[in-house]
Structure 1
Amino acid sequence: MKRFCYILLGTGLLANGQTALYNSGNLRIHEEGQIGFHTNLINDGPFDENLGLTGFYGTELITISGALSPILYDMELLNDRGVQLNTSLAVTNNTSFMVGDIITPRASPGINYNFLQNATHLGENNSSKVEGYAMISGKQDFSFPVGDVTQLRPLVINSNGSNAIALCAYFYEDPNNPSTFPGFNTAIKPRSIFGISTTEFWRLEGSVLSRVTLSWNPRSNISSLTGDVNSITIMGWSKSADQWVNLGRETLAGDLSQGIVSSAPFVPDDYEVLTFGSADEPEEFLTLDNFYLSPNGDGVNDFLEIPELEQSPNNSLEIYDRRGLKVFQMINYQDEFTGISNVDNMILNREIGLPEGLYFYIISMDDLGLEFQGFLFLER
């Protein structure tokens, strides 16, 4: 069957001296139709009700710009220099990566390559991927085909529900000194973290609780972080805590040369960037002990200190007496408990503090998806 490209003219479809195709009308590719671009596209008219194939071919960089973002059905990329997006581009069905990158400006996340709800992709490789920001709309699970000019460095997201939008880019840069936004000091980290990668990072946006899977390869230089592959974890720069936080680990496979690691559930919008870290001990051995408190002003055990909470700034602490009466609660606990109740209950003489004895605590580490319970002994 022959394939045809149907062009429906609005205010006109103009060619500009072989340097750009200017659409100010209504460009549409009907079912089984094809159109191939060997030149730039300036899109100021509708180009969104497509059911055919749009290809970008040649050996010279193609740019896409204009007031309106094209929405393609099938897209095929076979261009040595790639396609530069100066306006966003979306696809509803399939993207075939063959040769060349889709390039977006890293300083402008609002310009991206958008995989809509039913969109898929295939063929991504080191020489053909999204070099910049890729976005998904209406998807729950997805592998972002992102990377830098040299390598494909995908991020896989598995969310608890559909993402209205989620956005991802890869940076082969030191997170201390990124090229397009302020840095994130890798020295500001929990004591339990031995090191944080200064080689690469990902930026991920999304509002749905999600797990991510990252992979490393020889260029990642994981051996500079640790000699024990079992200590590798995923770190995120927490917006609320202004520090790196261990996002936990649910799966790990590989060696120091190459491998994959998956995080515990977290909300991507709570973090600026993600990268690899090395914990002093494998994350699965994280435990909390029973605690002792003697708030007598001698400077020793005067307040309840829980160092492990540095790994989870989004936490909660509840303390109960032996009768099951809640005596203390705190969201994002930071050493506030000194033996004095802060909840409305039937405690008498609140100002002199809680009586000596045994108490029961519940701690939720929301960043890591962990919950602990144990005992606290208060001595006067």
Structure 2
Amino acid sequence: MLKWFRKKDAETTPSNTAAAEAGLPPPLQGDAEVVAEEPQEDQGGFLARLRHRLAKSRERLADRVDRLVLGKRHIDAELLEDLEEILITADLGVHTTELLLDRVRERVKKKELQDPERLREALREEMEAILSVDAPPLDPHRAKPFVVMMIGVNGVGKTTTIGKLAHRFRQDGLTPMLVAADTFRAAAAEQLERWAERIQVPIIRQQSGADPSAVVFDALDAAVARQVDVVLIDTAGRMHTKMNLMEELKKLHRVIQRKLPEAPHEILLVLDATTGQNAVSQARLFQEALGVTGLILTKLDGTAKGGVIVPICQELRLPVRYIGLGEALDDLRPFDAAAFARAVL
């Protein structure tokens, strides 16, 4: 059943803290028109905000690099050995660390890099190069409806991310629709319904235990009939190591393609930054199973493991589409490789 929601009385909404604890969106303040507007900020303001949110990751990486080179006159083998430890413990992983060190050694060999105080700048440049994955931009205007399949394991913040992403699309003048295809977790549809209500977008859901494929099939029918711009499909969170559950995702993917041969146009994998290197293995297995087109990394503001983005991009060459920097509606931000590299280095 398709539902359109109106904003409820602000006095009946829960507090920010209570909503967060329940896995629900923070209450909106003021009129709906105010909520739909995101505060304007220039690039300098955004970079300062990003640096603030990534403070823990920067402390684990940039600050330690600065302490390493303090008072050093040359970049020698001992310094690079200590740098290797810093990079690995910053969740850049063994292979990515080796790649970065090889590039640094090459610069030193060519005498392009000799001053230890320029080491952090060199690392930032190399990190930015790795993060700048060559991939088509996420363009919701290239199809109507533009179908996005959201996947990920339990607890990564997938449903919340869908709500925030729908909010971004709505701000851009598009009409998003949410699809509650997670019919196994009792509170999943209710949580998504709360998001639909708060950001005033339609939602398709059925009773708990319904066939997810049937929910999606009906949702795509409704999207076409109502000329919806973007369809955001919330799938059940599942462990990437459970092959039978991964097969269910493949079935859902086939149903979407039978209904709309060009869809899904994006398969976005939501990863929790706080899981560190485990996020790399998750990305690898989901990529092998479904052919992920992009990544969303959540909870970057509360972890020192933000460097895990680098090995994922380096190994799988998957673009990071968005990053989550907090609980507010506008804390889901398009990923900018240069800004991220500057913020942590």
Does the pair score TM above 0.5? no
Say which structure is richer in helix.
2
Q: State TM-score, norm by structure 1.
A: 0.19
- Asked which structure has the greater CA Rg, the reply is 1
Q: State TM-score, norm by structure 2.
A: 0.21
